[in-house]
A and B are shown apart, each in its own frame.
Chain A
Amino acid sequence: MTVTTEMPTAPLMEVRDVAVHFGGVKAVDGISMKLEPGAIYGVLGPNGSGKSTLLGAMTRLTPMTRGAFVFEGTDYTRKPARAVHRMGIARTFQTVRLLEDRSVRDNVLLGVDAVGRSQRKEAAAQVSDVLERLGILEIEALRPDELSYGMQRRVEFARAIISRPRLLLLDEPTAGMNSAEREEIGGLMRQLLAEGITQFIVEHDVQMMVDTCDRLYAMNFGKLIAEGTPTEVVRHPAVQEAYLGKGAGQHA
């Protein structure tokens, strides 16, 4: 489970000097990362630090200014957003985005509607399993507006994992959840990891990140300010400063 940087295998995902500028605003400003398979990575940062923009760029939904993304040895920087999903990268969104007029089951199946026919058939056979694991099998015929927020989040999760991605990008997966629901989602992430799904989480909740991630990055003002194990990163003076303001570092 722990990541050794000397591992000779090729990284699952490589982020090379990526920048996203909106006019004069440097939302992401020269980020490089290497994600090895078999770990949960987290990007920590206050609101507006550029972490969600980075995730948007990784899925090619947000146009980037410079840099490159390499997934399993393939540079997909110039590929359209729809190709990213087919490569084996799935994502969830910061806000719940479900089809209003569709049932829970339909919303989950949408996750494999645009992949190859054989993969779609395989996934369709497993959809009840996925629903069951997320505790939404009993409500599979309901529509999103009939569900609680936590349940809607689970539907999004199910839609992201039904395609069996090799890399799962999670944009604030526990936002708006209560602590019991958070723990449940954390447990689910560990379980998915055991099944071979590498995860990349963007989040500002420090406790959740420390509990769940194997390796952390910290971002502020579009740049990486720290990198390492969760404890190392949380104790890092630059991170303390970003979260608590100047001078807070000494009390850690």
Chain B
Amino acid sequence: MSTWYDMNVILIQTTLTTLLLALSIQVPLRFGVFSFAGVGAFGIGGYTAAIAMVRFEWSTWPAVALGALLAGAITLLVGLVVQRLTGLYMGMATIAFTLIVSVLAVNGGDWTGGAMGLYGALGEISIPQLAVVVLVVVGLLQLTELSSMGRRVDAVRDDPELANAVGVNVVLYRRMSFLVSGLIGGLAGAMTTLLRTTITPAEVNFHLVIVSLTAIVVGGSRSWVGALIGSIIFVWLPTWIAFVAEWEKVAYGFIVAAAAIYLPNGVLGVIKDGWHRFRTRDERARAAAVAEEA
């Protein structure tokens, strides 16, 4: 076991940081907000933490906290500006925000190290510490999926007018989803950067949108469990399909396309549907019998 752990430390670490990034995109989606601002928050969090450590000699955890808080605050402001947009337009505006962050990183001079990025942010984060942070985030998100809060969130996403009609403050919920997305994205960026000790503008780019979105599409968009499944699949896939060698990207593409077509609610959706069918088999038979009589 411990040799397996030692051999796969990097993959475990990447799984956890990818999960945080995926959650920063998934949270707004769960609230019906098509926002990719979490990726911009990832960049802000990463650069903020690196600058705090390299330029101001802060220690690891204050730098991480500053990165997450600043990213959360800025993402909330972006949310206030774009909150009236819907669907694709919201997606475009928030991708633009992400691109602006990477342009600022390139042109930030000494602050951001330009195209070369920042080096030597020697954070001290162990895998158990990273795991605890992820557990806290996931635990808090679980509260938003349970009972009354979970139903309100579902209503805000699936039918905002209905949500309003039963008394839910839809606008407030959507704003909060930007704040949470920014905090989690910033946390992901700060920790990823301090684990790698470097950050460059090339790392804060559109490919992060694709990584997080595919993880959510394949795993499931309605719960953090789906994001976890998706993160595990995409971080570990290269080691599982090493036999396809240079066809790896093609295999990746097929998996994403197949999931989008055949698993509209991701792997988690299939599991949940199966469980639901099993649990309600008697009730469904009874309902069918009643319908037959009528």
Contact = CB atoms under 8 A, between A and B. Distances in A.
Contacts of A205: none
Interface in A200-219: none
A83 B222 CA distance: 28
Given A113-B152, A146-B287, A85 B165 contact: yes
22 contacts: A61-B161, A82-B164, A82-B167, A82-B168, A85-B167, A93-B165, A99-B159, A101-B222, A102-B151, A102-B154, A110-B152, A111-B166, A113-B155, A114-B163, A141-B280, A141-B283, A142-B283, A143-B276, A148-B290, A150-B294, A159-B166, A180-B294
A115 interface: yes
Query: A100, A115, A146, A150 — which one has the most chain B CB atoms within 10 A of its CB?
Result: A146
A182 B165 CA distance: 25
Contacts of B164: 61, 80-82
Interface in B207-229: 222
Interface of B: 148, 151-152, 154-155, 158-159, 161-170, 222, 276, 279-280, 283-284, 286-287, 290-291, 294
A138 interface: yes
A190 interface: no
Interface of A: 59, 61, 80-86, 91, 93, 97, 99-102, 106, 109-111, 113-115, 120, 138-139, 141-143, 146-148, 150-151, 159, 163, 178, 180
Contact of A109 (B151, B280, B290): B151
Given A99-B151, A101-B154, A148-B291, A113 B166 contact: yes
Contacts of A106: 151
Across the A-B interface, give the 5 residue pairs with the lowest CB-CB distance, nearest first: A114-B167, A85-B167, A81-B164, A113-B148, A114-B168
B107 to A, nearest CB: 43
Nearest to A59: B165
Contacts of A148: 287, 290-291, 294
A56 to B, nearest CB: 10
Given A93-B162, A106-B151, A120-B148, A151 B167 contact: no
Contacts of B155: 99, 110, 113
A99 B158 contact: yes
Contact of B287 (A110, A113, A139, A159): A139
A138 B289 CA distance: 13
Nearest to B161: A61
Contacts of A91: 165
Given A139-B287, A151-B287, A85 B148 contact: no
A82 B284 contact: no
Contacts of A84: 165
